[in-house]
A and B are shown apart, each in its own frame.
Chain A
């Protein structure tokens, strides 16, 4: 529009200049023709010619200007409206682009922060877990190395149990044999006692017979003297027999007492074995308690390890979510690029429309142009651009918990 105005302005100025030059030329011509300038009629005629020329040129200028002013004015106003519309559309698009870029920025910022926290947590928990396991191994190893006989815990337990078992078996065996032997001895002693009773009976009867024989011998007088001697010897034998019987009884009594003593000794020995057994049992109990304490410590540490594993798992879940920011961001950025492309195309197309609004002086239809079609064209271009960029890929502003929608 500006270029054409300048052209027209230059043409108009040229016309005025031409008019002035013509006037000057006519004056010169009149001078050459030696016309009497004092002649008022001639003077008036000359002035009239000059005025007519000037008027003609002025009218010509107006005549040429009037067809130019109307379309320019319409074109100018239409151009202004189109510019305003385009500016509004572009502002809107820039606003949307700014929003989308902010969204990308927030996504990246949020994801980076969460990734950082996740990795820090994983590192920290892994270290804690490592220390726990090291402590556990150290405690178990130390426990094994502190044993007095340099035997392992299990070897000692095993040895004690074996010894305990052997002793019990030996004792049991010995006790059985002893009981059996003592029972047999009791039977024998009872038998011998019966035999001794028999012997005592015989001895008493023999003594009686001897007395009777002595009495008969005394009755017989001198004839019975020899018989009396025999009777006395028999009586003596009877007494001796009774004496032996008593000694045998005493001896067996001693034997029985000895057996009792032996029994007592065995009991004492059994008691001592029992004491050793109890000591071993106490030692086993101590060892089992140590093992329980160790197991408890292991269970405790394992529970801690499990808690740590859970924390690590949670950190990994957060990291997996955060890693998806790349996908979401790239989709958003692609959409922004699409929007930029659409804006660029829109700008070129609007400029083309604006160029076509500038009227052409040489065209006879210039004054009849309906400029509203240009506005409609620009509105149509806005709609096309909106259609191009309406599909937005991501709505999330940050990497956060999302619910699973199941149905």
Chain B
């Protein structure tokens, strides 16, 4: 139904997301770094981006800022374990401010992911 890009440096997380979204007949692409994700976004027609925020090299926040300039209509879901800066400034609300359509805190359930993707695609 839709092309979805999943970005997370943890293989298990990518597996969980991929397996659950493929069952809903989506085509799922994977990237383990922000740089890899940028390359895929520039070469494929992606409708939904699901990205972790804490990653080596390019962080999820950097990726969101960069992609929002290039593809403003892209639907973005940010996921994170709830980390932040100095324990005060949470990454997730920051992601929301810079352009993420939805934010999900880890640990997430498969139902949450599916529902969020469905809502984004329908809207």
Which residues in A have some Cβ–Cβ distance to B below 8 Å?
317, 320-328, 330-331, 390-396, 399-400, 402-407
Contact = CB atoms under 8 A, between A and B. Distances in A.
In terms of DSSP, what is the predominant structure of the interface of chain A? mixed
B12 A395 contact: no
A394 B111 contact: no
A392 B80 CA distance: 11
B112 A395 contact: no
A321 B107 contact: yes
Interface residues of B, number: 31
Contact of B16 (A323, A399, A403, A407): A323
A192 B80 CA distance: 111
B104 A402 contact: yes
In terms of DSSP, what is the predominant structure of the interface of chain B? mixed
A324 B106 contact: yes
Given A390-B86, A396-B106, A405-B102, 13 more contacts: A323-B16, A324-B12, A324-B13, A326-B12, A327-B10, A390-B85, A392-B86, A394-B54, A394-B82, A395-B84, A402-B105, A402-B112, A406-B102
A404 B102 CA distance: 8
Pick the 8 closest A-B CB pairs, nearest first: A395-B82, A394-B81, A327-B10, A393-B83, A321-B107, A393-B54, A324-B107, A402-B105
A405 B116 CA distance: 9
Nearest to A111: B107
10 contacts: A317-B111, A325-B107, A328-B106, A330-B10, A390-B85, A391-B83, A393-B83, A396-B82, A404-B115, A405-B92
Given A324-B12, A327-B12, A393 B81 contact: yes
B8 interface: yes
Contact of A396 (B81, B102, B104): B81
Contacts of A403: 105
Contact of A395 (B81, B107, B110, B115): B81
Interface of B: 8, 10, 12-13, 16, 54, 80-87, 90, 92, 96, 102-112, 115-116, 119
Contacts of A396: 81-82, 105-107
A402 B92 CA distance: 13
Contacts of A330: 10
Contacts of B12: 323-324, 326-327
A400 B108 CA distance: 9
Contacts of A331: 54, 81, 83
B103 A405 contact: yes
Nearest to A328: B81
A395 B90 contact: yes
Given A320-B110, A405-B92, A395 B87 contact: yes
A382 B14 CA distance: 38
Contacts of B82: 394-396
A353 B116 CA distance: 54
A403 B82 CA distance: 12
A331 B12 CA distance: 14
Contacts of A390: 85-86
A390 B13 CA distance: 25
A407 to B, nearest CB: 7
B109 A327 contact: no
A233 B108 CA distance: 128
A391 B85 contact: yes
A390 B82 CA distance: 14
A331 B54 CA distance: 8
Contact of B107 (A322, A392, A393): A322
B76 to A, nearest CB: 13
Contacts of B96: 405, 407
B106 A395 contact: no
Among B54, B80, B103, which residue has the most Cβ atoms of chain A within 10 A?
Answer: B54
